[in-house]
Amino acid sequence: MSGTFIAANWKMYKNRAEAEAFFRAWRLLPAPRGREIAFFPPFTLLGVVKELLPSGQALGGQNLHEAAEGAFTGEVSAPMLSDAGCSYVLVGHSERRHVFGESDNRVAKKFSASMNGGLRPVLCVGEKLDEREAGRTLEVVLGQLASALGLLPPAQGFDVAYEPVWAIGTGKVAKASDASEVHLAIIEWLKKRGAGKEARVLYGGSVKPDNAAELLAADGVQGVLVGGASLEPTSFHKIATAGM
Ligand code: PGA
């Protein structure tokens, strides 16, 4: 994979009419060149967004179950997401880990299930505020990576999103230099393990039009995962074209 990766995580926002309005405006804005764009809408909008996406832009799920199919009421599998037109899926987003109690073990199962199901996972990792304050950021982040990747480097492609938990949805953004330190550590860790040669490491957590250029220019930052600021077309477009 090449090119800076700009991803929109819509979380549990938007209905059909709002998604249609978003793409009416989005399609009028010039496509950001040399950047890969992906949208992660709620499951109910995957089919709608698939139809409205400009060509070359990608679709992803926000979560998946580790089984391919089964009696798991309320869950969605990797083959189902593929079938709906997804090429990506978020795995281990901090809201999954910390609001819905997904363990490292569960995240590891989802990570491999997503690749077995033909998707490219974006593995989300990040420390909580008390862990950062205790100087444990790299230990936590690299521990989450090690647990998800297991013993063998995955055969298929994946990306990583570094999202400090204290920065998500709070308006508090990591300093570019702090993000860089963690990104470079992740890149180095992957290199040593011979894993993820093509993995891009994205930054997430309160990315906005006014901080995106600085973050995207930081050493080791190869894209951004945007929540709140991706819900509005002009704001997401400013981020998608920041620093160009
Ligand atoms: P935020 O969310 O941009 O609203 O902080 C980022 C994310 O959760 O992926």
- Give the DSSP letter string of 111-137: HHHHHHTT-EEEEEE---HHHHHTT-H
Task: Please give the distance, rounded to the nearest whole angstrom, from the Cα atom of residue 8 to the centre of ligand 1.
Answer: 9
Helix, strand, or coil (residue 205)? coil
Q: What is the pLDDT along the chain (244 residues), one digit of tens a residue?
A: 558 999 999 999 999 999 999 999 999 999 999 999 999 999 999 999 999 999 999 999 999 999 999 999 999 999 999 999 999 999 999 999 999 999 999 999 999 999 999 999 999 999 999 999 999 999 999 999 999 998 777 778 999 999 999 999 888 888 999 999 999 999 999 999 888 778 999 999 999 999 999 999 999 999 999 999 999 999 999 999 999 8
Domain topology for 4-240: TIM Barrel (3.20.20)
Find all residues with CB under 8 Å of 178, minimum gap 6, and list them: none
Looking at residue 191, its pLDDT comes to: 93
Partners of residue 150 on adjacent β-strands: none
Q: Which atom of ligand 1 is nearest to the CA of 168?
A: 5
The CB of 117 under 6 Å from ligand 1? The reply is no
Residue 128, token pair as written in the block: 């909580």
> Would you say 200 and 222 are in contact if contact means Cβ atoms under 8 Å apart?
yes
H/E stretch holding 161 reads strand 159-162
- For 86, residues 6+ apart whose C-beta sits below 8 A from its C-beta are 46, 59, 60, 61, 119
Cα 120–Cα 86–Cα 235 angle in degrees, nearest 5: 95
Cα 243 to ligand 1 centre (Å): 20
Contact partners, residue 194, CB within 8 Å, separation at least 6: 153
Considering 65, 93, 183, 237, which one is annotated as catalytic? 93
Q: How far is the CA of 197 from the centre of ligand 1 (A)?
A: 26
Domain ranges across the chain: 4-240
Q: Which atom of ligand 1 is nearest to the CA of 161?
A: 9
Q: Provide the whole-model pTM.
A: 0.96
Amino acid 1: pLDDT:
54
Verify whether ligand 1 is closer than 6 Å to residue 59 (CB atom): no
> Of ligand 1's atoms, which has the minimum distance to the CA of residue 94?
8
Q: What is the pLDDT of residue 2?
A: 58
The residues that bridge with 58 in the sheet, in sequence order, are 38
Measured from the Cβ of residue 73, the count of other Cβ atoms closer than 10 Å reads 5
DSSP H/E element including 224:
strand 223-226
Task: State the pLDDT at residue 163.
Answer: 96
pLDDT of residue 102: 97
